[in-house]
Amino acid sequence: MKTLLTLTTALVATPAFAASGAFFSFANTNFIVMLGFLVFVGILLYAKVPELLTGLLDKRAEGIELELTEARALRDEAQTILASYERKQREVQELADAIVVQAKADADAAAVQAKADIKTSIARRLASAEDQIASAQSAAVREVRNSAVTVAIAAAQDVIAKQMSAADANKLIDDAISDVGEKLH
């Protein structure tokens, strides 16, 4: 009851009622504006514009809700894909680490093998050089002996030729011929 009294007081106390003259006259612009407003509201209600607006808002809310549901599904799918890629990245990183460790081990083994190969090669070259030195030494010794023998034979020939007479030489030739004859037959 109190609210009805307050509403009535508010309607009566409006500035339109405070104006002089009759309110319900077509000469009063406030009355004409109020009638136009009421006719406009009536046309809106008759054309069911509030229901149309409510329907459009409901459709819009449903569309937004569908978009939110789809966005949640996409986010969940993206999180699943992200987790999959993170797992694959960890696996690839572990594989790369294993490859690096294996490569280091292979490099160390190759270095050890290269050192062993170098030692073997050096030993072979040293042995070859020693063989060449020994061969050269024996060749030099043979050459010196041969030269010494040649010089000794030449010196002996000179000495024998100077000391030997013609008769001694003929006797040596005859002895040599008989020795050859005996050895050949």
Greater confidence, 16 or 120?
A: 120
Break the chain into its structural domains and give their ranges: 23-146
Instruction: Give pLDDT, residue 19.
Output: 53
Q: Is 27 helix (H, G, I), strand (E, B) or coil?
A: coil
Cα–Cα distances in angstroms (integers) from residue 125 to residues 112, 118, 120, 121, 137, in the given order: 20, 10, 9, 6, 18
- Cα atoms in the 13 Å half-sphere on the side-chain side of 182: 6
Q: Structure tokens of 151?
A: 């010089």
pLDDT at 153: 80
Condensed to tens digits (0 to 9), the pLDDT of residues 121-177 reads: 999 999 998 889 988 888 888 888 888 888 878 877 777 777 777 777 788 788 888
pLDDT at 185: 67
**CA atoms in the 13 A half-sphere facing the CB of 180:** 6
For residue range 15-43, what is the model confidence (pLDDT) as tens digits? Answer: 555 555 677 777 888 988 999 999 999 99
Residue 54 has pLDDT above 90, yes or no: yes
Report in angstroms the alpha-carbon separations of 176 from 56, 149, 153, 173: 147, 21, 18, 5
Average pLDDT on 74-103 reads: 95
Mean pLDDT across the stretch 101-114? 93
According to the model, what pLDDT value does residue 161 have? 72
Question: Whole-model pTM?
Answer: 0.39
Mean pLDDT calculated for residue range 81-109: 95
Whole-angstrom distance, CA of residue 19 vs CA of residue 148: 163
d(CA 144, CA 148) in angstroms, rounded, equals: 6
Helix (H, G, I), strand (E, B) or coil at 47: coil
Structure tokens at 71: 């966005």
Q: Which position has the token pair 């986010």?
A: 75
Query: For all residues of the chain together, what is the average pLDDT?
Result: 84
> Considering only CA atoms, which of 137, 117, 136, 114 is closest in space to residue 125?
117
Residue type, 5: L
Check residues 168 and 54 and name the one with the higher pLDDT. Answer: 54
